[in-house]
Structure 1
Amino acid sequence: MQQKPTKVMALYNKVTRLPFGQKIFSIMVSRMAPYFGTIRPLITELRPNYCQCFIKKRKAVHNHIQTVHVIAICNGLEMAMGVMAEASIPSHLRWIPKGMSVDYTAKAGSDIRCVAEVTPEQWVEGDLLVPVTAYDDNNVIVVKGHIKLWISAKPAK
């Protein structure tokens, strides 16, 4: 049985039909959680249980060796996870992040693509480890890890 799209998924589907729709949607998300705006993210793909976020390599996200700072990448991974979660979670559940664990696997010397993906069966009460991966322009993994979510039932109204 297919569930009704979440508000975030419905908004994405509506806005991305417009010119510059992905940019408009990304700005809207960044306004809801302003810290995300520091990386100027672009949601390039969103579907239930999957989100891809793009971070442009620019001076504002550089570290001392002019690669993309890992904290900027973690910010992009958290955005991809959060948007994926809001677009995917069944209506009777809610989520909150509990932690993040990442490994830095290569220098991030280009634009970065952040991906968060789960399977529909994973949306159950308890801990959910959401795999997150960041790739450079050559599809080399530069950061890999998971974000731990606590999934619980929404309280009765």
Structure 2
Amino acid sequence: MTPVLALWQRATSLPVVGSTVGARVFSAVFAQKAPYFATIRPRFTVIEANHAELVLPKRRRVHNHIGTVHAIALCNGLEAVMGALAEASVPADRRWIPKGMDVAYTAKATSDITCIAETDPEQWTSDDPDLAVRVRGVRDDGTVVVEGVIRLWVTPRA
């Protein structure tokens, strides 16, 4: 089990604080690893190998000029959820780094947005160092507002 996955499981299973408080504490700690993530106040809800989710709250600080969640805030949420997925999924003998992102904005982000990242298990053990993480952002009503791929470079640890 990876350190991030172990920390998530520990934080969300603490009987004294409960899973909701544990998830919020984990989210705050995770956001400090890459401080720019803290600007969107991500709230992780699911972290497991090959699947992760977070909620990006719609609040004034992430609005654009029309009062919806800004495109770059959406990308920040997608990158944060991808990072959690990658840390929960990468084999111990490999490392990863993002190398690109392709996204399409498909609807206005008029509510909190659930950012989702997914991979297939065999992607992490392939000889091909290019790994595509499927990402999307979904409004409260189920409408996809952004979708795309974040490409990773996965190589053996030196």
Sort the TM-score into its range (normalised by shorter chain). over 0.9
Name structure 2 gaps, 5 residues minimum.
Answer: none
Identity of aligned residues (%): 51
1:14 maps to amino acid: R
Name structure 1 gaps, 5 residues minimum.
Answer: none
Question: 1 CA distance for matches of 2:49 and 2:97?
Answer: 18
Report the equivalent of 2:135: 132
Tell me the TM-score normalised to structure 1 length.
0.94
For each residue in 1:21-58, what CA deviation from the matched residue of structure 2 results, as whole angstroms up to 9, or x when unmatched? 00000001011110000000000111111100101110
Higher helix share: 2
Q: Give the number of equivalent residue pairs.
A: 151
2:155 maps to amino acid: S
Report the equivalent of 1:12: 8
Tell me the TM-score normalised to structure 2 length.
0.94
Shifted more, 15-24 versus 73-82: the winner is 15-24
For each residue in 1:76-103, what CA deviation from the matched residue of structure 2 results, as whole angstroms up to 9, or x when unmatched? 0000000100011111111000000000
RMSD: 0.7
For each residue in 1:97-155, what CA deviation from the matched residue of structure 2 results, as whole angstroms up to 9, or x when unmatched? 00000000000000000000001100134111111000000110000000010010001
Deviation at 1:17, TM superposition (A): 1.7
Q: Within the alignment, does 1:141 sit opposite 2:144 as a pair?
A: yes
Question: 1 CA distance for matches of 2:84 and 2:46?
Answer: 10
